Amino acid sequence: MWGAPAEPADSYYEVRPECTDVPKTRFKIKPGKTLSARKWQAAFTPEGQLDIGKTLSRIHRGGIHPSIRGEVWEFLLGCYEPKSTFDEREEIRQRRRLQYSAWKEECHQIFPVVGSGKFITAPVVTEDGQPIQDPLVLQETNSGISASSSKMVKELLSHGPLDKKVIQWMLTLHQIGLDVIRTDRTLVFYEKQENLSKLWDILAVYAWVDRDVGYCQGMSDLCSPMIILLENEADAFWCFERLMRRLRGNFRCTESSVGVETQLSNLASITQVIDPKLHQHLETLGGGDYLFAFRMLMVLFRREFSFCDSLYLWEMMWALEYDPHLFYLYEEAESAASTKSEGSKAKAKSIRQCGKYERENMKNGAKTSEAPLPISVFLVASVLKDKSSKLLQEARGLDDVVKILNDMTGNLDAKKACIGAMKLHKKYLKKVCF
């Protein structure tokens, strides 16, 4: 077993043969390092309780085998509490599947394309809720829905003017469709209409449920892996929903700002502490707002890595910042319970059950009043630090900064990036906290 060669992971996420410019995957399935199906099953007690501490360290050493990635992610993202039993998880799973089904049916009643196996890529309503009847626009819709989409809207209007929330939601549906057909289009998986429709349905339902954020570009990139890794649509939805709980602040927009700007501001502060010369140079070039790093933070490096490597990066990040307390917070939010149990749950949290990055934050928790920054911000800072001399020597304008960063696509090593982020995080905490 230990002497077995590393297995390439590409075969699990097949690329269409005509797509020849796709970055090569660096992630290798390494026996003895990568979390295998056998090791994963061995981490559970007979009742189904998971030894999360051991699992996290193995993920950090070698990632997760693609065959079990989906079920492991459900734990990493806080869908299930490690100490829950098989029976308890099955009960939660069935309850969530019913909830998703109810939301999807609600959406289907408003706009029957949801759940039909098809989707739209052109607007169907105007901003004041009237059906769009321009045949040139409607011809762009998918799989012959064009003829019936305006009819659906007219039927809705026959019951009276559309509710503002309904209009807002329906205005996003074609944008979801446009993003869906662009998402991971190099993968054979998305040659199937049913998989594109599944992605559209999940995003449409999410936009209906999360009225505060709705749908924004970039969400399809975050949701796509869930569809590929989890066969059941409802399970994929809940995995995406948990990921959005971490990232939805990035997508929350006001008239004057986008949520991710807070993280960009944190990135600026970190770079200023870690590499003041680079920060000064970027400010001189007019890049002090760090908007050039916007995409990296919004879609968690999906553009900088191959598909397979980005999944490897994500699971390492989540393993490093894993906090079992997250599950309790999620459950409290779901049941609208009070926060009175939060204190005792926090005390019950074992440091051994936390990821390495989270443990570092816990050690310094008493010294910093602010909430810990996500590891993704340190990942970007680590990439900038790595490219510091090149940026200082060659960047004479913001276009040069963007070009230098774009040239990294496919050339980054996920594990090295995480190690770099951890080192930078430690260095930053030392400088800021002491």
Q: Domain extents for the chain? A: 86-246, 260-433
Indicate the range of 37-46, 85-94, 179-188, 344-353 predicted with least confidence: 344-353
Those residues whose C-beta lies under 8 Å from the C-beta of residue 345, and which sit 6 or more positions away, are 325, 328
Tens-place pLDDT, residues 153-198: 777 777 677 889 999 999 999 999 999 999 999 999 999 999 999 9
Q: What is the model's pLDDT at position 92?
A: 96
Q: Say how many C-beta atoms besides its own lie within 10 A of residue 234's C-beta.
A: 20
Query: In Å, how far from its chain's centre is CA 110?
Result: 28
pLDDT score for 369: 44
pLDDT of 196: 96
Under the banding of pLDDT at 50, 70 and 90, the label for residue 372 is confident
d(CA 29, CA 64): 8
CATH tag for 86-246 (out of 3.40.50.2000, 3.40.50.150, 1.10.8.270, 3.90.550.10): 1.10.8.270
**Which residues are CB-contacts of 360 (< 8 A; sequence separation ≥ 6)?**
422, 425, 426, 429
Q: Work out the number of other CB atoms within 10 angstroms of the CB of residue 356.
A: 18
Does the pLDDT at position 328 exceed 70? no
Q: Has residue 343 got a pLDDT over 60?
A: no
For the ranges 133-147, 149-163, 241-255, 388-402, the one whose mean pLDDT is highest: 388-402
**Of 67-71, 117-121, 335-339, 404-408, which one has max mean pLDDT?**
67-71
Q: Is 50's pLDDT higher than 60?
A: yes
Mean of per-residue pLDDT scores for the chain: 86
What is 260-433's CATH number, 3.10.20, 1.20.120, 2.60.40, 1.10.472? Answer: 1.10.472
Type of residue at 136? L
C-beta of residue 177 within 8 angstroms of C-beta of residue 120: yes
Q: Which two tokens stand for residue 52?
A: 């999360």
Structure confidence at residue 26 as a pLDDT band (50, 70, 90) = confident
What was the pLDDT predicted at 173?
A: 95
Q: pLDDT at position 213, please?
A: 92
Which of 269, 271, 303 is CA-nearest to residue 383? 271
∠ Cα 93 97 101 (to 5°) = 175
- Whether the predicted pLDDT of 418 surpasses 80: yes
Report yes or no: 384 and 277 within 8 Å, Cβ to Cβ: no
Judge whether 206 and 104 are in contact, CB under 8 Å: no
Cα–Cα–Cα angle for 173, 178, 179, nearest 5°? 95
pTM, two decimals, is 0.89
Res 327 pLDDT > 80: no
Whether the per-residue pLDDT at 121 is higher than 70: the answer is yes
* pLDDT confidence of residue 342: 43
pLDDT in tens, 68-106: 999 999 999 999 999 999 999 999 999 999 999 999 999
- 403 pLDDT band, cuts 50/70/90, is very high
